[in-house]
Structure 1
Amino acid sequence: MRVPVEIISFFCFLFSVTFVQGQECLGEDISYENIEPVANVSYTDGEMVNVKCMTGYIGSYKLKCKNGQWLTFFAQRCLKKKCGHPGETLNGDFKLIEGRDFTYGATVEYTCKTGYEMTSRINRRQCRIKGWDNSVPVCEEVRCPVIHTDEDVTASGNTKEGTYGEVIHFECVSSDKKLDGSSVIHCTENGVWSGPVPQCIVTCQLEITEPKVIRIIPWGKTTFKAGEVVKIICSGKNQFFQKQETFTCTNNGKWDYKPTCEESRCEAPLNQHVYIPTFYFKGDLNMGAKRSYSCESGYNQRAEQATCTRDGWTPKPLCAEIKCDPPRIPDAQIVGGQKQEYKFSSRIEYKCRPGFKPEQLVQITCDSHGQWTGIQKCTDGTCEEQELKNIKILCGHPSIASPYKPGHILVFQCTDGNMRFYGQRAIECLPDGRWNYPYPQCGGTIQCPKPTKHFQLVKLSDEKALYSNSEILTYTCKEPYNKIPGGDLMCQNGKWNGTFDCTSEICPPPPYLENGDFGIISKNGDVITAVSYTCQPYFVLTKQQDQYNCVDGKWEAPPKCLKPCEVDDIVEKYNLQPPTGKVFIRHADKFRLNCTDGWNTGSEMKAYVDVSCSNGNLQIGKSCDTQNQ
């Protein structure tokens, strides 16, 4: 069947209308400069859009979407907002610090000329959408504060409210006074005066005509304020001021003393008990002369030498009678009673009260320093009994019953045979009431640590850190020290009953050094034939020898490592201050300890004791047994 042309044309029209009406316009296709993005991503055919300029720009566009294309209905180009001139300020200036012209975002900064200051806090203006922000700053003239003077000073110039550059002149009302400060000041650009307001003060003039005066201190100064002190130096070492060495400017403008130089002389001292050889004096002595002197027996001199000064001998030769205060000996009684004071070389006797040492009479003497010599402290003659835990006293000499007197010895053992014993088996009560060693203790289980002596030369049958009491340890000697194949050791009371018995055809292992170690110097094959020895830190070798040799299968006798000493709280019994931390002293070295406050060693000039170390034993030769006077 043939379709009419009119029907085909109608369907073609519908198809074309449908196709055209389906086209859209994209928002991103709008490409004008300095515009804000449009609201939608796409717009339908026939839709109208108003396009705005970016902030700071003036203009607009009106567009229509047609057949997928934008048609411009109205267009005004987006141009930067202009603000015009920012405005001048009187007595000031401005400069552009941001932007190139007076358009949106441009910033100008105002400054005042020298002598002017800005009254507003903000000194900048910026071009905004509505024009320049803020107002034009104002520059006002700088003014200095009012000048106030006292009745002695006159000021000429604008003293009420000076402006920049104005000058003020000052003068004293009275010719008897002088200005203390500058006579001219000016108002600075910061609104402050260039200096303080001066005062008119009394002064003294120093004009020395005395030919013996060669120098004035302070050097080169001739005008002085009231209260200032001046010193002069006279020519020649024997010339000094008469009566005084310095003089002062008074409030009336006069010196308190007229400086003069004159020669002074000293006569021979005639003090009682003072002895100076007569050949020292062939008449009077000039200033600066020095003479030695001494005192009679029983008298103490203040100084060994005196100098001739304008005031006579300095220090004045003086011999004071030597006296001692009554001795202070705790737990002691003075034989015959005690006096208020004792003269030089006086001797007294005292005895300690019952139960204290020493038991015999003690004699002390007042020495040439006014101190007592020969004092022995009275100490409790018994040693303290302590609590026993897991330990018992096996025996004692002379008995095991307290109180324990000096010389008494106690021997201890653990209550349980399997416990470990710590400390000394026997301790002795010393004459000062102290045990020579602390009470021993028992605790834990008896075990033996792994043997360390020549451990590298053997292989153990059962290697572990600890071994039980009576346990047997089998070992095998390693080459080349396996001439004897091996052996056994037994743990007995915490100690091994022997050491590894290993040797070679040439030499046995180097001798073991307790608290030390050896370094290999030479070998014969794998057998060590020469070594050197070193000690652990703080331990000291008994002898310094470069090397020890094995000769004919025997080693030279090795040295020993002597133990250090630790300074512990025991020094408090000697009135010594213990150190704040751990202190170790090497063998034969010394360490200084201060006396406890209020005590000395017999002289207040020596309030310390030097202790020494002898192979782990702290040696304290003297105690601080005298209280300060």
Structure 2
Amino acid sequence: MRFPAKFVWLILWTVCVAEDCKEPPPRKEVEILSGSWTEQTYSEGTQATYKCRPGYRTLGSIVMVCKDGKWVSLYPSRICRKKPCAHPGDTSFGSFHLAVGTQFEYGAKVVYTCDEGYQMLGEINFRECDTNGWTNNIPLCEVVKCLPVTEPENGKIFSGALEPDQEYTYGQVVQFQCNSGYRLDGPKQIHCSAGGVWSDNKPQCVEISCTPPNILNGYPVISKEIYKANERVQYKCRPGFEYKERGETICTESGWAPVPSCIEITCEPPHIPNGFHTPESNKYRTGDKITYHCKEGFFPEIQGNVAMCTSSRWSPTPRCSLKPCGHPVIKHGRLYTSRYIPANIGRQFYYYCDQNFVTPSLYSGGYLTCTRKGWSPEVPCLRQCIFDYLENGYIPYSRPYLQGKTARVYCYNDYSLPDNQNTMLCTENGWSPPPKCILV
């Protein structure tokens, strides 16, 4: 029987080219080889099927085929991937974190922790993503508790507890208060800590007592060894010292109040308007003296110019006042009365002017006033000149002129006032020159 040449050639090529494969690779990491593979070699085209290990999955079958002496994947995109797990679940008053893995998938492990002040019920604090989902139950957190607290002897407690002698939960605070006459020896309050123990020991209430007060620069009026709460002690200060607040102190829970103290009596440098003092110092002690001087126009308000630092400060108070006005000099006049002179600033006195003299207001009398600059007016009485006659001249309209004023003169022809003057001045002694025109 004869075969076509092409067929013979194909048979020969197949025999020459085709190569068997050894047993399929186990791929044990995520896959399991199906079936029994006991032969030494496997012919071209043989197929091996794999299943995913527990905890892994894929879509479709994973098949390897013998080709050219090697096992190659028939469906390269089909691989075994880790099975996912749902959210592991939150726990109240706690949280979790991924301890193994980066996603919620087979092999992942989450560890739970409780918030501060809470503790876990049981010893298992984790869940693992297994072939059938998460292992273990979600851990539970319960609030930390502290043992009951009893009232201290001679005291009482305040808290948020509804029932006495009950357990306290994390964060709860207990406050302590002692009965009258007692004080706390220890903390005023304690709280239930995160470790389930109280933040401090319970305080005691001890009787309030005070030893005799130590008074610097002073001494108690009556003293004894021990004082009870609210007992009072009166004390005095030594010479040159004074009470800081008052001369009495009370025994209290925190000791003597106010703290008894005697401070040195000192005086600040005096402020003397319109004056100055010697010697100068930043502070003066009791008994120190100063001498003060007043500026021109001022004088010490009381007799003498020495002041001393005393418990009531400067005595007498150094003060400079304006100088009073002395007895006025009234030329061509007189005072109605000279009582109350020297006079203080602002004081007024009535005065009279002599004949032919008037006040600056053209009256026969007026008021002198004591001012900072002295008596006012300075010239109380002024000469009054009457121009009612002119020898060898024209008689003007008669009217009075005050001292210091001038009057114009009109003489007849060939007549004139001395030195060819044409005015007369009213002076203290009358007209100058006299109202007389002389031949020139």
Give the alignment's TM-score, normalised by structure 2.
0.39
Give the alignment's TM-score, normalised by structure 1.
0.29
